[in-house]
Amino acid sequence: MALTLSDITQLLTVEGENQYGGEAVSQLEHALQCAALAEQASETAHTITAALLHDIGHLLAKTGRLPASASVESGDDLHQYVALPFLRGLFSSAVLEPIRLHVDAKRYLCATDQSYWSTLSTASKRSLIVQGGVYTPVQAAEFEAQSFAHEAVRLRRYDDLAKVPAAVTPTLHYFLKIMHSVAL
C-alpha cells in the first residue's frame, strides 16, 4: 500500500497532467505553484514537501489504487486522508499533518477570517460545502489546538493562490530533491 519516492514521481508526472478540479491549471502545475509559494515564504523543507504533495490523494483516486470504501457518496473524496497510509512510511508528521489538515484549514479560515471566503475560487467554495462547511467557533478552537495547525493554515493559503495559468515555477525535479531530503 505504501508508495515509494519513485511512485510519487510517477504519479505527479503522469496523473499530474490532469486538470485540477474546476481550476485552469493541471494537478502538477498546482502542486508546483503551491511548493514554490511555500519556498518563497521561507518554509521548512517539510512544509514545502507537504505543499507539493497535499493533493496527492486526488491523483491516487485516478489510478484505482484506493479501496472501494474510499468512495464517498457526499462527493468529497477525502483526499487529505486517503493519501496518508500511502505516505506514512516515507515522511514524518511534519509532512503528513499539514496534508491531513489542509481541508480543515479552509473551514477554519472561513470561520476566523472574514475576508477569506471572498478569496476562494468558485470550485473551492463549492468543495467547502461537501467538505463540511464553515467551522463553528468551538470547531475552530479545536482545530487551532492541533499540532501543525499553523503549518496547515499557511499551506492552505498557498493552496488557494496556486491556481495561476502558465505561472513560472521551479521544475518538479527541483522539488523532488527537497522531498528526498526529508524522506525517512
Cβ atoms of 108 and 142 closer than 8 Å: no
Cβ atoms of 38 and 95 closer than 8 Å: no
- pLDDT score of 155: 98
Cβ atoms of 160 and 109 closer than 8 Å: no
Q: What tens-digit pLDDT sequence spans the chain (184 residues)?
A: 789 999 999 999 999 998 887 788 999 999 999 999 999 999 999 999 999 999 999 888 777 665 544 444 445 568 888 899 999 999 999 999 999 999 999 999 999 999 999 999 888 898 898 889 999 999 999 999 999 999 999 999 999 999 999 999 999 999 999 999 999 9
Looking at domain 5-182, its CATH class is mainly alpha
- pLDDT score of 70: 45
Q: Which helix (H) or strand (E) holds 184?
A: none
Please state the three-class secondary structure of 65-128 as a single string.
CCCHHHCCCCCCCCHHHHCHHHHCCCCCHHHHHHHHHHHHHHHHHHHHCCCHHHHCCHHHHHHH
24: DSSP letter: S
pTM: 0.91
- pLDDT score of 124: 86
What is the CA angle 114-159-146, rounded to 5? 70
Which residues make Cβ contacts (< 8 Å) with residue 59, sequence separation at least 6?
11, 12, 15, 16, 18, 27
Q: Residue 69: how many CB atoms within 10 A of its CB?
A: 7
- The full set of domain ranges for the chain reads 5-182
